[in-house]
Amino acid sequence: MTAYKPGDPVSVRRLYGRQQNHKLRLGQAELVEKLLPQISVPQEGEITSERLFGDHRPLHFEIGFGSGEHMAYRADMLPDHGFIGAEPFLNGVVGALQHVRELHLPNVRLHMGNAIDVLERVPDGSLSFVYLLHPDPWPKARHAKRRMMNSGPVDLIARKLKPGGEFRFGTDHPIYVAHAMMVMNGHPAFDWLCERPKDFLTRPGGWPETRYEAKARAQGHEVWYFRYRRI
C-alpha cells in the first residue's frame, strides 16, 4: 500500500473554502432541485457505465469541473461516451447543470462533493480519460500536501485508468507546474505524451478554452497542458 503524506487528499477528506459563493436565482435553484437528482452519481455502490448509462461505453472522469464548460464540450463532442464530473462548490454545479440542460446532454452524471469519494468506487481499469484542469494550486509550501496532484490521488487515478487511457492536467500556476512535474516524473504507471517543449505550451485538439483559462491569459499568465498515457 502506498504511504501517503499526512494531509494528502486521499487520506484526509476535507474540502476547503466556501461551497457557495452567492445566492441562487430561482431558475438555478430549480435546476438543483429537479435536474440534479436525475443525473447525480449514486451515493453508494460501484460506479460503472452500465449503472450510470445502461450500457458499456468509454468513461471519462473530471475532478473539479468548475462551471462545467470543458466537460460539456467533451460530452457534446462524444455523445456515445459517458462523463462523470465531481465538483464540491454549488455554483459550479449549477453552471454544469445549465450546460446539460441547454446542450441536451444525456451522457453526463454529476457529484457535488469530493471527487475521491466517487473515484474510489469506480472499478480499477475502467476509465478512458481523467481530467484535472486548473485545480487550486495551494502555492504556500505548508499547503502543498492539499494539492490534488500528489502521490495519493495520482496513484488512485493510475489504478482507475485502463491501459492506454489518458490523464490530462492543466494549470496556469508556475509553482504547481514544477510540483506536478516532480510528482509525475518517472511515475511507473504513466508515459508523458510530450516530444518537445511546445507540446505542453499548445492546447491539444479537443481541449477547449474555458472562461477561466481566457481570464488567466488576459492577466498575462502562461497556461500549460499535460497529457499522460496509462501504461
Determine the distance from the C-alpha atom of residue 57 to the mean position of all C-alpha atoms in its chain, rounded to a whole number.
19
Closest to 181 measured CA to CA, from 163, 197, 165, 204: 197
Phi, psi of 61 (to 5 degrees): -130, 125
Positive or negative, the CA dihedral 115, 189, 169, 144 is positive
SS3 readout for 87-116: CCCHHHHHHHHHHHHHHCCCCEEEECCCHH
The model's pLDDT over 157-199, given as tens digits with 9 standing for 90+, comes to: 999 999 999 999 999 999 999 999 999 998 999 999 999 989 9
pLDDT of residue 9: 81
Determine the distance from the C-alpha atom of residue 41 to the mean position of all C-alpha atoms in its chain, rounded to a whole number.
15
Report how far residue 53's alpha carbon sits from residue 186's, in angstroms, rounded to the nearest whole number. 36
User: Under 8 Å CB-to-CB from 89, ≥6 apart: which residues?
Assistant: 17, 18, 19, 20, 21
Mean pLDDT of the chain: 93
Report how far residue 168's alpha carbon sits from residue 203's, in angstroms, rounded to the nearest whole number. 11
In terms of phi and psi (left: phi > 0; alpha: psi -120 to 50; beta: otherwise), the region of 226 is: beta
Just list the catalytic residues. 136
Report how far residue 200's alpha carbon sits from residue 47's, in angstroms, rounded to the nearest whole number. 32
pLDDT of residue 20: 53
Query: Does residue 20 sit in helix, strand or coil?
Result: coil
Beta bridge partners of 129: 60, 166
pLDDT of residue 23: 81
Q: How confident is the model at residue 21 (pLDDT cuts 50, 70, 90)?
A: low
Give mean pLDDT, residues 188-211: 94
Q: Which amino acid is at 33?
A: E
Q: Supply the DSSP symbol for 142.
A: G
Closest to 159 measured CA to CA, from 186, 203, 119: 119
